[in-house]
Chains A and B, each alone.
Chain A
Amino acid sequence: MPATNERAKFALLATFVILTAVTTILIRIPIPATTGYFNLGDIFIVAAGLLFGPIAGMLTGALGAGVADLYGYPQFVLATVATKGLEGLLVGVLSKGSSLRPPRAWFAALMGGGTVMIGYFIFEAYIYPTLGASMPFFNVTNFQDAVVELVPNAVQGFIGAAGGIGLWRALAGLRTAR
């Protein structure tokens, strides 16, 4: 029975990781000015952080979004694993506690969204240009592109936070009802 419980927990986490990866790959709306794109994967990262805590949130963000970037955007895997992993971790840490109320959940989710915006900016404006000087593979962004992407990343962070809160409330409601 313990093995069965462990497998069920693993399956639950795998579901969120895979949902993040699949929705990120399938609904990928390119941003014309840069090499980035909009996606809905953050909804599942925020929901995983709120529902299952920091480790699950971090794994969902790092693995789900990282795997998705392997298709089409392999240069961004490094930034995505770090940024989205941190997003899930932060949402989980800030929402950890006995009774999670919507205001704190909103705060945690918005901080997660802010992490995405700031994290990608740091990678695209500073880390990738530095790495790109010695490794052409990473030579994909510059400071101007990073500034352009601040707005879409902020919009995406907000959509992820709002959608993740909606999902958390609905799933937490289902859990309570049972």
Chain B
Amino acid sequence: MIDSALERRGVLRIRSLSLRLALLVLLAVPAFNRNILDTLLPTSLIHQLPLPLLSVLAFVAYSIVVYAIVVWTFGIKGLTQMLALAVVLGLTVVISMAAISKAPILGDWLQGSKTLAQVDAKAVEQFFAMLVVIPLGLLIIHSFPPAELICRLRSPTGTISEHAIRVAIVLRIYSMVADAISSFYAAWSEENPKVFLPRHRKDIGGTDKLWKLPMWFFGAAATWGLALVTYCIEQIPQLVTQLDVTLDHKLKGHNNACNK
């Protein structure tokens, strides 16, 4: 995803960083504003079908615009990867919501005065919102490659402030974490399905299921979190060295990469 970003496609062709940011913020307003999202996705009316056609069409049109910009910038493969992550995480959230709302005692407590239909409607809204918000979030993160940022934040004399370097580090780690999350779940599910998919665990079943399933959940979450942290921390020395080399290279006047 990052390599293709450096090829300057799609939104990356917009040279002005502030204009690029402004356009992306404008694109994100409907997805990141709960009032607009609730208007576009009136799932509270889901038990009173049909839904308002204009709202649904507006949401579909908005999704298509977001997907088109993702394809324009990262290609169809980039969009497929982002959607795969969105579906996996969306299903995880929806299934967890269903499990929690139907859990004995706790479910009734958390449901409050809401009916099950309203809870389900909320889950449907959450799922469809994630299908748009996750690709959009990843598009925004990957639209500001750290190498490009270092070039742009340089002063006319060629020096780079420590603040600019730290902004670049934060962006680099953001894209690293986003990449790790998107690729790890699928890889681990295939390589070690017993950890992540309870249907591969023959020892979970019978009367002790209520006890063993939460234990399995904690185990899977801890394994996932540990691998994620370990992967990210392992990259830090390489990241900092790479940054030093890049800075050194640019300060000595090798600015070809910045002038592209």
Q: Mark B91-130, 1 if CB is under 8 A from A, else 0.
A: 0110011001100001001111110001100100010000
Chain A interface category by residue count: 35 or more
A-binding segment of B5-13, B64-72, B166-174: B166-174
Known contacts A18-B174, A28-B93; is A8 also within 8 Å of B126 by CB? no
**A151 surroundings in chain B (CB, below 8 A):** 106, 109-110
State the CA gap A8–B242 with chains docked (Å): 12
Known contacts A25-B137, A29-B93, A72-B32; is A148 also within 8 Å of B236 by CB? no
Known contacts A14-B170, A32-B101, A33-B114; is A167 also within 8 Å of B225 by CB? yes
State the CA gap A31–B111 with chains docked (Å): 7
State the CA gap A171–B110 with chains docked (Å): 34
Known contacts A19-B232, A32-B112; is A26 also within 8 Å of B134 by CB? yes
The minimal Cβ–Cβ distance linking B178 to chain A, given in whole angstroms, is 7
**A174 surroundings in chain B (CB, below 8 A):** 230
- Among B96, B226, B228, the one with the most A-chain Cβ atoms within 10 Å of its Cβ is B226
Asked if A15 contacts B118 (CB within 8 A), the reply is no
State the CA gap A102–B194 with chains docked (Å): 28
Asked if B112 contacts A148 (CB within 8 A), the reply is yes
28 contacts across the A-B interface (CB closer than 8 A): A4-B241, A7-B166, A8-B237, A10-B166, A11-B169, A11-B173, A15-B229, A19-B229, A25-B137, A26-B134, A26-B181, A27-B89, A27-B92, A27-B93, A29-B100, A30-B97, A30-B126, A32-B101, A33-B114, A38-B96, A43-B225, A47-B229, A163-B225, A166-B226, A167-B226, A170-B222, A171-B233, A174-B230
15 new A-B contacts, CB < 8 A, other than A15-B236, A22-B174, are: A4-B240, A15-B229, A15-B233, A18-B170, A26-B134, A29-B93, A29-B96, A31-B110, A33-B111, A33-B114, A34-B112, A148-B110, A163-B225, A166-B225, A170-B226
